[in-house]
Each structure stands twice: as C-alpha cells, then as structure tokens.
Structure 1
Amino acid sequence: MEFDAIILAGGRSSRLGGVPKAKLTYDGATLLERSLGAADAAGRIVVVGPDPGDLPDGILNCREEPPFAGPSAAIAAGLSALAADHAGKPGAGRASAALGSAGVPAPFTLVLACDMPRSAAAVSALAAALAARPDGEEGDGVMAVSADGRKQPLAGFYGTAALQRSAADAVRGGGLENASVFALLARLEVREVRVPPGSTDDVDTWDDATALGVSGAISDFGPGSVPGPAADRRPWRQTVKSQDETLEDWCRALLQALELEDVEIDVSEVLALAGVAAHAVVRPAAPLTTFIAGFAAGLASGSGQTTDEVSMQAAMAVARQLAKDHAAAEASGA
C-alpha cells in the first residue's frame, strides 16, 4: 500500500510545563523517534513542528502557520509540504519503491500524533485494515478507535485527495487555526478500526507520562542533571511539582480575591474538562467551557439547590458529555 505520513509534533505542551512531547523518551527512544518508526513504511514523511535538528536524512520538516495553530492547521501544512516535495523533487525524499508516479502524492496519508508511545501497533492494525478492503469498496480511509471506544483522529490513514479538498474547503470557510480535527474530517467517509489496547494512549499530562512509563530526556533539562535512572526521572518530576504548586497557589489567591475561600476546587478535574473541550471542539473552547460550567455551578449552589461540590461535578459532567457529543456529530458529518 502506497502512503505518505504526517507526524504532528508542534504543540505547546502547556500541561507538561512546556517540555516538548517529541523529546520525551519511552523504551530507549524519543516519542518522535518512535513515531517515525511507526511510519517507516511511508514513501515520504514530514514532521510538522519545530526542527529538532537531528531528523534522519530524507525526512521533511515544516511548521503550521501560524505556529501552535493546532492539529488541523498542522495537517494542512504537512499536506502542502508533501505535495511540494512530490512536485519539486520527483523520486527523491525517502528512496522507496512505493513512491508511486513521479510528482503524484501517494493515494493515502497517515496522520499520526507524536505523543502516543505505542502507536506502532495502531498503525499496523490500521494499515492491515486498509489493505484488506474488498475490491471496489469506496471510502476515504480508516481511523483508530481505542479498546474503550474512543475515536483518535490523529491516528489514521486518509485519502490524500479527499484530505486536501477538506483542508482547502476549511480555509475557504474561515480558516484552520484552532479548528477541530473532527470538523476537518467530517466530510470524509472514514471507517473506524479497533486498534490494540493502549496503542493510542497519549501523553497530555505528567500523570499520563507516569502511567505509560514515559520519562524526560536528561539533555532537555540543562546542566546539573546527574546521569542514571533516578536522575532521568527527577527533572520532569520537579517540573510537575512546580507546575502543580503554582496552579494551587494561583487558585488559592484567586479564590481569596473573589471572597470564595471556603470553596474547594478540583484543579485536575477542571483541567481535564478543558482538555476534553479543546480536543473535541476547538482549543479556545477550553477556557470558555470551564467558565460557563463554573458559572452554572455557582448559580445552582447559590440558589440553595445543592452543595458547591455537587453543583460543580454536575456542571462539568454536562459540559464533558456535550463536548463528546459535539465531536461525535462532527465525525459523522451531522
């Protein structure tokens, strides 16, 4: 099967204290190296994100415009880079017999986020499902679905021409900056494929990193780090502690300034809701969603209908479900 690959590696990593996800390590390799390995059968590969300075020969690199504009903008930038490479240097790039006709992009494009350390198993399952399609079956590709039913649009093979048309339509319709990936893919006829358990688990927080066995690279944290297994974990754990303490201090100060000292805020739950809204809708939906949920909780609690804790949990549950329903509707084209 002929395909090119787009590796997304350009996020802010704000919930990791700014530590680049691509440079985190898992089982002796960086997450970027593991993603490149997962996509190794591609004719051409482009990494969308800051130039790490050590990409293997033949791997393309570009940035979304503007930087940090989100995965939809990054996918469009990757498509443009691949198309330009095919048109400008036919037969070049990664010398492979599967490149297809000179100047013509591969029929499928693998889109893969670099923050899934076990993504190779997902890519293999997706490739097998795509290759096993009956002759004459129409469709625009396959998307990973985790064992628990969660769709992962940043692990999928998509028809290149269809994806290019969708990106062009999105630009004409208002732009791709901070746009939902589900919205970008809404017009594509994509088949969902169950992938091996854990193969699409991603690293959004340091708790995720701990659960997946992902650690920080010593070289990323400057001088003063002592080599060795214990030191390998210490710098990023200190980053986590500093970030958590900062958030707790800020939350406490804000509550005090608003004369809400008696209110307990579950910072982790609020951040989790923000993450769901950002992924399922668009990134600016994160602060808007948490504000509205908090406002609704305050009204319910202030009216005496329920306690602060119950009202906040109820409001966040409604917002979380609504965001997931929105993502499902976007994915189905509804």
Structure 2
Amino acid sequence: MRWAAIVLAGGRGARLGGVDKPALVVAGKTLLDRAVEASDGADPVVVVGPARPCSRPVRWTREAAPGAGPVAAVAAGLAALDADVDVVVLLAADLPAVTTAAVAEVRAAVGESGAVLVDAEGRDQWLLSAWRADVLRSAFAAPGRGLYSTLGPLNPVRVTDRACASSDVDTPEDLDRWR
C-alpha cells in the first residue's frame, strides 16, 4: 500500500511574533525536519509552504493564496500527489515530539475513512492524522470552512496520543517547554 505525507508548513506564526515556526530548532533539528523525518517511508512527502532548507528531499507546493489556512493547504497538498497513493498522512510542521512511531500508529489505525490522534484533553488533532486517499480527495472536493467541518463528518478512528506527539508550538511558552 503506497502512502504519502502532506506537511503543512506555511503558517504565519502570529502568536510567535511572525516567526517561521517550521524553521525553529528544537534539540538540534528544525521542526520541519522533525515532521519530514517522522514521515519516513512516505512516497512522496509533500510540503505545503515556502521552500526552505530540509534534511530530506520533498515535493514543494503552495496554496493558490499562500496563508489561506489549513483547508487550502491540504487541498494544495492533495493536488500535488500522484493518483495511485492509497493513504495520506496529514502533519503540521510545528510538532516537536512527532515521531515515525506516531505516524505509523495513525496509519495503522485507518479504518473505513481515516484515523486521527486525540490529545490528552480529548481534542482531535487533525494535523496528525491519516486518511484513505479517495475519502480525503472527496472531502476536499467541496471542503468545509475549517478542518473540523471537513474532516469531522468522515468519522475517523480516534487514536489516543500517549506520547504527546501532537503537542505543537504556538506560543513562546510552548517553545520554552521544548528547549
């Protein structure tokens, strides 16, 4: 079964003063490199955002209107995938604890539609999820206004995040926890 990863790396980093979050370094690696490396085995890894240095070869793409948000970014990533991809992993590029094991866990849990990691507070983490490619393409043919309204109705399998892989960096305090 061929799988691909779409890494969303084009956010504004507004709560961090406009910092390029994917370029932030935690424990010697950029957040972008952590997401790309967690996608080991994906064919291809598509990064949606401005091209920047990366530890591995990736396929770069941008939304029609850069900065339009995650729904537009996922749609752009889907457009950059080959037609024969069976499963698509969605990842944010601001996850300092994401690992290949976390990605493999959501991939292995894909049911009829997909699987999503659920954080300790019970929130679905849409940007650490895996989906049947045909289901995801159908959902994004007429997407909702946000990821929840687009992906929530697909009734994914919910996977408990036991390793804090879905913890993201949105604020200076978040970043301090990882440095």
- How would you bin the TM-score normalised by the shorter chain? over 0.9
Alignment correspondent of 1:169: 142
Report whether the alignment pairs 1:5 with 2:14: no
- Mapping of residues 89-238 of structure 1, within 5 Å: 104-120=83-99, 121-130=101-110, 139-170=112-143, 179-213=145-179
1:155-203 CA-partner distances (Å, limit 9, x unpaired): 0001111111111122xxxxx7xx3101111331311001223211100
- Mapping of residues 14-163 of structure 1, within 5 Å: 14-54=14-54, 56-57=56-57, 59-82=58-81, 86=82, 104-120=83-99, 121-130=101-110, 139-163=112-136
SS at match of 1:56: coil
Q: Distance in 2 between matches of 1:75 and 1:3?
A: 15
Amino acid at match of 1:127: R
1:124-154 CA-partner distances (Å, limit 9, x unpaired): 3213434xxxxxxx51110001233221011
More RCO (CA 8 Å, sep 6+): 2
Question: 1:212 deviation in Å?
Answer: 2.2
Alignment correspondent of 1:314: none
- Per mean C-alpha deviation after superposition, the further-off stretch among 68-77 and 204-213 is 204-213
Q: Distance in 2 between matches of 1:69 and 1:106?
A: 25
Q: Distance in 2 between matches of 1:186 and 1:201?
A: 20
Q: Distance in 2 between matches of 1:146 and 1:124?
A: 17
SS at match of 2:80: helix
Q: Distance in 1 between matches of 2:113 and 2:48?
A: 22
Question: Higher helix fraction: Structure 1 or Structure 2?
Answer: 1
Q: Distance in 1 between matches of 2:8 and 2:15?
A: 17
After TM superposition, the score normalised by the length of structure 1 is: 0.51
SS at match of 2:142: helix
Amino acid at match of 2:73: A
Question: 1:106 deviation in Å?
Answer: 1.3
Unaligned runs of 5+ residues in structure 2 are: none
Identical pairs, percent: 38
SS at match of 1:139: coil
Q: Distance in 1 between matches of 2:29 and 2:38?
A: 12
After TM superposition, the score normalised by the length of structure 2 is: 0.92
Question: 1:39 deviation in Å?
Answer: 0.4
Q: Distance in 2 between matches of 1:152 and 1:54?
A: 24
Unaligned runs of 5+ residues in structure 1 are: 87-103, 131-137, 171-175, 214-334
Alignment correspondent of 1:89: none
CA contact (8 A) 1:119 1:200 kept: yes
Q: Distance in 2 between matches of 1:150 and 1:211?
A: 20
Amino acid at match of 2:172: W
1:85-131 CA-partner distances (Å, limit 9, x unpaired): x3xxxxxxxxxxxxxxxxx331110000010111114213213434x
Q: Distance in 1 between matches of 2:116 and 2:136?
A: 13
Question: Higher strand fraction: Structure 1 or Structure 2?
Answer: 2
Tell me the number of residue pairs that the alignment of Structure 1 and Structure 2 aligns. 178
Specify the structure having the higher radius of gyration (Cα): 1
CA contact (8 A) 2:95 2:165 kept: yes
SS at match of 1:117: coil
Amino acid at match of 2:76: A
Q: CA RMSD in A?
A: 1.6
- Mapping of residues 289-300 of structure 1, within 5 Å: none
Q: Distance in 1 between matches of 2:30 and 2:84?
A: 28
- Mapping of residues 242-321 of structure 1, within 5 Å: none
Amino acid at match of 1:6: I
